[in-house]
Amino acid sequence: MKNQWLHILILLLLVVSTLQASAERDTLTVGIYHNPPFVIKMEDGDFEGLSIELWENIAQSADLNFRYELYSDFIGILKSLEYEEIDLTINPMDVNDSRVNKFDMTQPYFISSIGVAIPYLNRSPLTVFISNIFSLAFLEIILLLIFVIFVFGFFLWLIERRHNKFQFRPGLLGLFDGLWWSAVTMTTVGYGDKAPKSNIGKAIAIIWMFTAVIIISSFTASIASTLTISGLQTDIKNAEDIRLV
């Protein structure tokens, strides 16, 4: 009786070990390493990425059991593949003659290239320049510049009309004198026909001189960027708008 129970126990152990070995054989070992955007190791230990998503969809469709084996680099994966320690890898791999002879490899599924496509413009540079000069963006810059010139010219005229009536006349003509001085000072022309005499007027002049340097630099950069951007902008809306040069 004891021998019979012993035989049954041994038989059960053999069945369990056989099932375990079969389960291990049916579970694929997938070698991977952190390589964004194809394989990304998350902080919680899970994996995401293009290759992960593609492989898991394939495994789900084919009803395959698998487990991931994480490596530090691609060299370790190649060695494990060569010694059959893992079943496959889903990381990107260059296809060459040596690897094709050693492994079964798929063709690349992800090919990326970057390019810039613009339509060929049959317009002369003069036409492009004139159209940019009369653009809305250029007009906004000019109006802002005129406003700043008016503000400083007005304040200087308001101060100097009491101390320097010959150069900054009262009334609308004097306001024009202030605008003239502001424009001449900003452009650093320096005619010298109008200059402040009061201390407050000189203080306003100093502030305007330094401010004008910054404004002129910004104004020049804005004009250059506006003309450049306007020249590069195109009306590409679909593939039919692209023409080869």
Residue-wise pLDDT for 13-30, tens only, equals 444 454 354 444 578 889
Other CB atoms within 10 Å distance of the CB of residue 90: 24
Paired residues of 66 in beta bridges: 28
If you average pLDDT over every residue of the chain, what do you get?
A: 77
Residue-wise pLDDT for 202-236, tens only, equals 898 899 888 888 888 887 787 777 667 666 656 66
- pLDDT at 65 exceeding the cut of 80: yes
Name the token pair of 27. 């579970």
- The per-residue pLDDT for 97 is 81
- pLDDT at 244 exceeding the cut of 60: no
**Helix %, strand %, coil % of the chain (to 5):** 55, 10, 35
Global pTM value:
0.43
Confidence band (pLDDT; 50, 70, 90) for 238?
low
